[in-house]
Amino acid sequence: MAKTNPKVLARKKRAQRIRLKVHGTSGRPRMSVFRSNRHISVQLIDDERGITLLACSTDSKSFDASAFKGKSEQAREIGRQVAEKAKAAGIERVVFDRGGNLYHGRIRSLSEGAHEAGLQF
C-alpha cells in the first residue's frame, strides 16, 4: 500500500459518509462542491438520472477573479452565481454536499453566498 497523506484520507472518508446520506433528485438536486488550492467549483447534480444540471467555477473564462480580494470572496460570488442560475432553471431547493471538506472558510462562504441569493438548503 502506498503512503498517503492522512488529511487526504480523512477528507475522502468524510466524503464517503456524506455521499451515503445525501442524494439529489431533479426537484432537489445535490449541490456538490470541489475545492482545490486555487479554485472552487460547484455542480448541481440529479443523482437519479446521473446528470449535471448546471455548474459554476472560478476556473471558467466568464469569471473574473481579479475583481475580488481573496478566495473566500470568490467562493461567495460563485455561490451567488450558482443560485441565480438555479433560480433561472426553476430550482429553489438543493441538498448541500461539501465534498468531505469542513464547513469552514471557502465552503462556508460559498454556502452563505448561495443563501443570500435565495437558494434553500
Q: Give the domain CATH number at 58.
A: 3.30.420.100
Residues 40-89 have pLDDT tens digits of 999 999 999 999 999 999 999 989 988 989 999 999 999 999 999 999 99
Task: Compute the distance between CA of residue 111 and CA of residue 117 in angstroms, rounded to an integer.
Answer: 10
* pLDDT, tens only, 11-48: 999 999 998 888 888 889 999 999 999 999 999 999 99
Tally of domains within the chain: 1
Q: How far apart are CA 93 and CA 3, in angstroms?
A: 40
Domain of residue 54 covers 6-116
The Cα-based distances of 57 to 34, 43, 103 in angstroms read 9, 9, 19
Give the model's pLDDT for residue 16: 92
Residue 2 clears pLDDT 70, i.e. is over it: no
Q: Is 96 within the bounds of a domain?
A: yes
Residue 1 belongs to a domain: no
Residue at 121 is within a domain: no
Q: Find, among 99, 121, 112, the residue nearest to 12 by Cα.
A: 99
